[in-house]
Structure 1
Amino acid sequence: MNQQILSVLIIVISFTLFACGGSGSQTPSSPPIPSIEEPNWIAGQFSNDSVYKDLCAVPRTGPDSNGDTFLDSQGTSMHEKMWLRSWTNDTYLWFNEIDDNNPAAFSVANYFSQLKTDERTASGSFKDNFHFSQSTEDHNQRTQSGVASGYGISWEFVSSSSPRRLIVRFTEPDSPAAIAGVLRGYELKKIDNIDFVNTSDQVDIDQINAALFPSDPGQTFNFVFSDETKKDVLESTLTSQNIELQTVQNVKVIDTDIGRMGYMQFNSFIRTGQQELIDGFQQFVDQGITELVIDLRYNGGGLLAMASQVAYMVAGSAQTNNQTFETLQFNEKYPNKNPVTGDTLQPTPFYTREIDWSTNQFTNNTLPSVDLTRVFILATDNTCSASEAVINGLRGIDVEVVLIGDTTCGKPFGFYATDNCSTTYFTIQFQGVNAKDFGEYSEGFSPVTSPIFDDELPGCRAADNFTQILGNVDESLLASAISYAETGSCPIQNKPAGKVTIKAANIQGPGIAIQTPNTLLESIRILTPISEPTA
C-alpha cells in the first residue's frame, strides 16, 4: 500500500476507567483495596500469559451495555503489561523481531504500541501497519450489534495538514446526515463556525475533535459543507445518534450490452451483514445475472467466516466443492497447531451455509450462489484484509477476479480480537494462503492491463472521484467495470490522484489525524467445524 505521511500523527485514545457517585470518595465502610504485589520483569524470560490474564488495575465489576460480563480480578498495570508481553511472545507472527523492553518504563497503551516489528517490506513500508487496540465496549457494540455512534457519515480523510480535506464517501440510510441532505462528495468546511480547513488553534482543534467523534448520542454541532464547485451548499445542525450500520447498500441489477450485471456496495464483514448479503445474492439469483460487481472500496475487512461465505456465493458449489478457501499459517512455534484455539491446523473450506451468530454454529440453510467464473471487485487502498481474502480465495480456485480502482491495502494477515481489562487488542497472529499456497500480497493487489506477478490482477485503474453516488452507472469505478465487461478494455480516464488516507488518531496541533471507527474486527468461534478469526 502506497502511503505518504503529511504530518506527524499522534494517536490519543482515552478511556474512562472509573465511575463516581456523590462526592466520588470512598465511604468509611468500604473495605480497603488490598495491596497487590507487582510481577517482576526479567529480560528474555516469559511466563505463560494465563498467569497475568484478567488481573486489572481497575477491574470491571458488572455487565456492560451489551450484557457482557468479565472475569476481572484486582491486579496492577504491571500485570496488564506482563500479560501483553507473554501473549505477544507466544502468538505474534513476528515475535522474534520484538525488542524485550522493560514494561515498567511504559504506560499500558504505550507498551502495547511498541510490541510489534519495526521491519519493513521491499517497498519501504512497515511490515506491520495493523497493530492497534480499542475499547472493548466500543468493539463489541460495533461488531456484535452493528451500531456506531455518530451522524451516519463515512468520511474520506484526504489531507492531514492545511489546507485540510475531509470528504463524505456516503451516508447511512435514515441517519441524521442522510436526513439533513448530506451527499457523497460534500467537503467539510466549518464546524461551529471554526475554519476546519485552515485553523491551527488548539482550542479549535479540540472542538473539531469533539464534533467529529461525539462521545455519546445526543451531542449537537453545526456543520458547513461545500460541493465540488467549492461553494458552501449546506449548513446543518447534526445531532449524534447510535447508528445501525447497513453493511450492504445499493443492491441493483443493471442491463448491459453483454447481459444482466449485479451490483452491491458491501462495507464491512460484521455479523449483522449476513442477512443483507443473503438477500442481495438471492436477488441476483432471481434476476439471472451473468456478471457481478462487488463494491469493496471502503471495506476494511472483518470476519473470515463471512469472507468464505461471500466467495461461495460468487462461485457456487461446483467450483468450491472440497476446495480450500484459505489456510492459516502461524509463527514458527506453531507449525501444526492454532496457538489461540489449540486446534490442529485445518484448511478453511468455502462455507456454504448460513451461520447462527447467537450460537456461533452453522444452520441447515444453504446460501444462494450465482455460480460465476468471473467477478469484478471495486477497490481502493481502503480495501483490506477479509476483502482481500475474498480476492485471494477465489483466485485460488481459478475464478477470474477483475480489479477496478486502485491497489488494495495489502493485509494478508489476521488476528483473534482479545479482550483484557476493558481493552480489546489486535496483534498480527497469522497469514492466510489460498488453495495455491499464495498469500504474499503485503504490497496489495494491483489492477493492470497485462498481469505478470502474483499480486497483479487484470483490471483498470480508476479514480474514486466522488462526483456520482455509489451505484450510479456513471460513477467512475462502476463505469469502468461496465466498460471492461462490455469491451474487454479499460476506458480512457485519469489515474487515481495519489491521495493519503489517515488511518487512525485524533487531531493534534496544526495537522489533523482522524480517529475512525475500526471495521476490521471480530473474533468469532464457529463450533461446527472450526474456530474462526478475523482479518
Structure 2
Amino acid sequence: MSLNPRVKKTWLGRWPGRAAALAAAALVAACGGGDGGPLTCSASDEKIWLREYMDDWYFWYKVSPSPNPDGYLSVDSYFNALLYQGGLADFPKADEWSYMVSQEAFDRTYGDGRTLGYGVMVAGLEVAGHPDWPLYIRYIEPGSPAALAGLQRGDRIMAVNGKSASQIISDNNYADLSPADTGDMVTIDIRNADGDSRVQLTATIYDLEPVPNSRVFSTPDGRKMGYVQVKDMIDQALSPFDTVFGQFKAAGVQDVIIDLRYNGGGLISVANKISSFPNGAATSGNVFASLLYNDKRSGHNESFRFQSYANATGLSRVYVLTGPRTCSASEQVINGLRPYVTVVTIGDSTCGKPVGFLPQADGCGAVVNAVNFETVNSQNQGRYFDGFDATCAVAEDFSQPQGSATDPLIIAAEDLADGFACPTLAVAAKSKLLGLRKPADRPQWVEAGERRGMIGK
C-alpha cells in the first residue's frame, strides 16, 4: 500500500465534522483501484481498503482497533471504529481529529482558496453549557453572504431558523449555520445597537480572504507596532502577508502582532513561510518543524526550514494573539518560533493539536485525513496536547472590532511592549465573554459554520 504519488503538501488543520483536526495536507487527485484506492467504490471494497491503509499509514496503527468491516453499515462508521482510543502515556487523548471529507470540498479550499457557506461565525465555544449567556457573532468572513447583508462582529444572535440562541447553546448544535449546498437558506434574528432585525442568507461559494486585516500604529509610549491577522493557512495568504510585512519594514515597526485567534490551521508550508518573516536573520535556514511518522513510514520523516524573504524584519520578539481556535499549523507557528525568538501569547490557551495528516484520495470522491505524524520543533519540543497557555490571559470583547485600538488583546500587547504588566483579567468580562479554560475542559465539538481554519479543508 503506497500513498497517492501526487501528494505534494502537508498541512495542519481542523474540520467541523470532528471536534478537532490536525492535518498535514496535500491536494490529491482521485484515483481508483490498486494502491491509490479501493478496487471498486462499493462500501465493502472501501472498508477493506481503509483497513489496509490505516494499518500502513496511521500513526497509531499498533494500538488502534482493527475490527471486521462486515459489522459496519457505512464507510464513515467503519473509519471511526478504526481510530485510536487513547490511553498511552505519551498520547493520552483519543484521536478526535481524523476525518473524511469530499474531494470537492477539500480542493475548493486548498486549491482554489474558496469556501461554501453563509460566512457567520459565532462564539459558541465560549458559552458552552451556559444557555443563559448571550450568543455573539465573533467573525464575519469578508465577501460572504453575511458580510454583504451587513452582519457584524458583536451582533447578538437571538434565533436561527426559529430556534432560540439558548436552545442552540443547550443542544450544542450549530448545524443550521453550516449549509450543505449552494442555495441553502438560513434565517437569523439579530439584536444590536440599531434594534432587532431578521436577516435571511443564501449560501454561496465565495473567495476566502486569509489576511483580512492589518495596520501600523503607535503605542501610548510611542513604540511603532505592526498588526496582521491571518485567518487561513492556505497558499493565498502568502502574497498579502508578504505585502503587509513590506509595509511593516518600510514603517520601521519595533514590534509585530500576528493575530491567530481564529486560525485553526492549514498548510505547514504556509505556517513555515509566515513564521519566516518576524526575524529572518535569526531563523533563516534553521529547522522550523519536523514531521515524525510511524515506524513503517519513518523514511518519510522530514523537516521544514525557515525561508529568507526581502520583507522579513529583524525582531527578537513577536506577539501572537491566541484562543481556543488557534490550532494545529497556527500552534506550530508558536512552537517553531520559540527556540529562536521570544513568543508572547496573548488571549486564551490554544487548542492542543501536535499531530497531522497526509490526506489521501480514496478514488471514490472522498479524501481520508487520518493522523499520520506528530510534529516537533528544532529542539524536539512537541506533544502539547494541553495547548499553549497564554503568556498574558485576556478576555475577548466581541463588541469591539478585532485588531482595533479598543480590542483588549491589542491593548494588552501595547502595554507589554511599553514595559507594563499584563492587564488584570476582569471577572465580569471573563464570565460573560470568554471562558478561559484548558483544552481538556472545553467541549469536544466545533460549532458548525466554521470550516477550514479550525477547519481544515
**Which of 273, 281, 287 does residue 324 from structure 1 map onto?**
287
Cα deviation for residue 51 of structure 1 reads: 4.3
How far apart are 1:382 and its partner, in Å? 0.8
* Structure 1 CA distance for aligned equivalents of residues 233 and 212 of structure 2: 13
Q: 1:114, 1:309 → 2: CA distance? A: 36
* Structure 2 partner of 1:74: 40
Return the structure number with greater relative CO, CA threshold 8 A, min gap 6. Answer: 2
Separation (CA, whole Å) in 2 of partners of 1:273 and 1:300: 14
Q: Name which of 479, 487, 496 aligns with 2:411.
A: 479
The residue that corresponds to 2:279 in the other structure is: 315
Task: Map residues 9-20 of structure 1 onto 2, 5 A cutoff.
Answer: none
- 343, 368, 379: which one pairs with 1:425? 368
Secondary structure of 2:413 counterpart? helix
Q: In proportion to residue count, which structure has more helix?
A: 2
Question: Is the contact between residue 504 and residue 515 of structure 1 (CA under 8 Å) also seen in structure 2?
Answer: no
Letter in 2 for 1:332: D
**Does residue 1:497 correspond to 2:435, yes or no?**
yes
Amino acid at match of 1:247: P
Q: Counterparts of 2:108 and 2:212 in 1: how far apart (Å)?
A: 21
**What is residue 96 of structure 1 aligned with on the other side?**
62
How far apart are residue 404 of structure 1 and its match? 0.4
Q: How far 1:278 moved relative to its partner?
A: 1.4
Residue type matched to 1:143 in 2? Y
TM-score by length of 2: 0.82
Offset, 1:199: 7.4
Provide structure 2 residue ranges, at least 5 long, that are not aligned to the other structure.
Answer: 1-15, 20-31
Tell me how far 1:290 sits from its aligned partner: 0.9
- CA distance in 2 between partners of 1:84 and 1:196 (Å): 39
Give 1:297's aligned residue. Answer: 261
The root-mean-square deviation of aligned C-alpha atoms, in Å, is 3.1
Distance in structure 2 (CA, Å) of the matches to 1:166 and 1:142 = 28
CA distance in 2, matches of 1:321, 1:484: 27
The SS at the match of 1:347 is: strand
Q: Is the 8 A contact 1:302 1:386 kept in 2?
A: yes
Q: In the comparison of the two structures, how many residue pairs are matched?
A: 416
From 403, 406, 419, the equivalent of 2:348 is 406
User: Shift in Å at residue 100 of structure 1?
Assistant: 1.6
- Structure-2 change in CA distance of 1:146 and 1:433 (3 Å): same
1:243 to 189, 193, 206: 206
Going from structure 1 to structure 2, the CA distance change for 1:431 and 1:472 (only over 3 Å counts) comes to same
TM superposition shift of 1:129: 2.6
The one-letter amino acid of 2:182's match is: P
Is 211-220 or 158-167 further displaced after alignment? 158-167
Distance in 2 of aligned mates of 1:153 and 1:182: 8
Of 191, 203, 207 in structure 2, the residue corresponding to residue 226 of structure 1 is: 191
1:138-170 Cα deviation digits (max 9, x unpaired): 111122112112222223223466558643112
Q: Matches of 1:185 and 1:373 in 2, distance apart?
A: 34
Question: CA separation of 1:409/1:194 partners in 2, compared to 1, >3 Å: closer, same or farther?
Answer: closer
Please tell me the residue identity of whatever aligns with 1:475: D
Conserved? CA contact 1:404–1:460, under 8 Å: yes
1:378-457 mapped onto 2 (5 Å cutoff): 378-397=321-340, 399-420=341-362, 421-447=364-390
- Matched residue type, 2:191: S
Give the letter for the 1:368 counterpart.
N
Cα distance in 1 for partners of 2:383, 2:160 equals 43
The residue identity in structure 1 corresponding to 2:388 is: F
Aligned to 2:26: none
Counterpart CA distance in 1 for 2:112 and 2:358 is: 19
Q: CA deviation at 1:84?
A: 1.2
What is the TM-score of this pair, normalised by structure 1?
A: 0.71
Taking every aligned residue pair, what percent have the same amino acid on both sides? 30
Give the AA of the match of 1:292: V
